[in-house]
Structure 1
């Protein structure tokens, strides 16, 4: 089974939105049994809380479930548990790598979400907790999740050729 972890700062806005959108896409493609998805935050301010009301309202508008999602903090165990660790911004990537320390086995891929969208010419997914622009974040996440699924499919095809 392939596993994906989305990481943001508090795990209440961007990363749970990405988790929900990606799960929704996987279900639509009948891949929910093949790819495991989770999200986490680098900070501990919102541990155990449901996604932000702005994220929930937006997901409700698009009919995307966030049932059972609760904020948690990224941990060192996530390094070996997940194949793709997708960070919403440069600070999240730096802080996530710091949690993992010197671990590096070539298996886990840690990268920024916006690496999936080089045509957007943005380094980071804006944090709607501060900007209030949940629609912009949803548009980026929706497209990025599509590209992530393409990347995973490509990686799996390449792996099967070896």
Structure 2
């Protein structure tokens, strides 16, 4: 990890009330469990301003809480232009939101954009985290399954990347 400041990760979905706050809460939990919360900053946002300042969807919160993830302090916000400069990883939940981010992103920061599921090690058949908003509780459980795995891969990637940089400095 960077010595001078934190690695910053932004999870993005459409409204920032289901998938991206779930990824946010899960990753914060994983980062803290790894003892890296002083080195990694986590946030989430939406490509659309539908739910600004709202809490995450109650169904998402309920599913997350069953697995020990607390989403209470999270509030929806929209992606801002300065996020592209500020964050090191800007990870969309699906291809539609990735395309929106690619359209908005200044060219010099486009290398920061990607799909969260590209870090998954167990869910090869899923390239995206589907929006559970209009479905039943199973969708929220699947979001958690996908996000838990992909976030572990992301955390490994961040740790390995920082180790490589330290080794190159020797």
| Structure-1 residue corresponding to 2:8 | 3
Counterpart position of 1:115 = 118
Quickly say closer, same or farther: Cα 1:160–1:129, change in 2 above 3 A: same
Partner of 1:138: 144
Contact 2:13–2:46 at 8 Å: present in 1 too? yes
* Secondary structure in structure 1 of the residue aligned to 2:53: coil
1:11-160 → structure 2 map (5 Å cutoff): 11-104=16-109, 109-117=112-120, 119-132=123-136, 133-160=139-166
Contact 1:75 1:99 in 2 (8 A): no
Cα 1:105–1:10 change in 2 (3 A) is: closer
Q: What is the CA–CA distance in structure 1 between the aligned matches of 2:34 and 2:164, rounded to whole Å?
A: 20
Contact 1:6 1:15 in 2 (8 A): yes
Give the TM-score of the pair, scaled to structure 2: 0.88
Unpaired runs of at least 5, structure 1: none
Gapped regions of structure 2 (runs ≥ 5)? 1-5
Alignment RMSD: 1.5
Alignment: residue pair count = 160
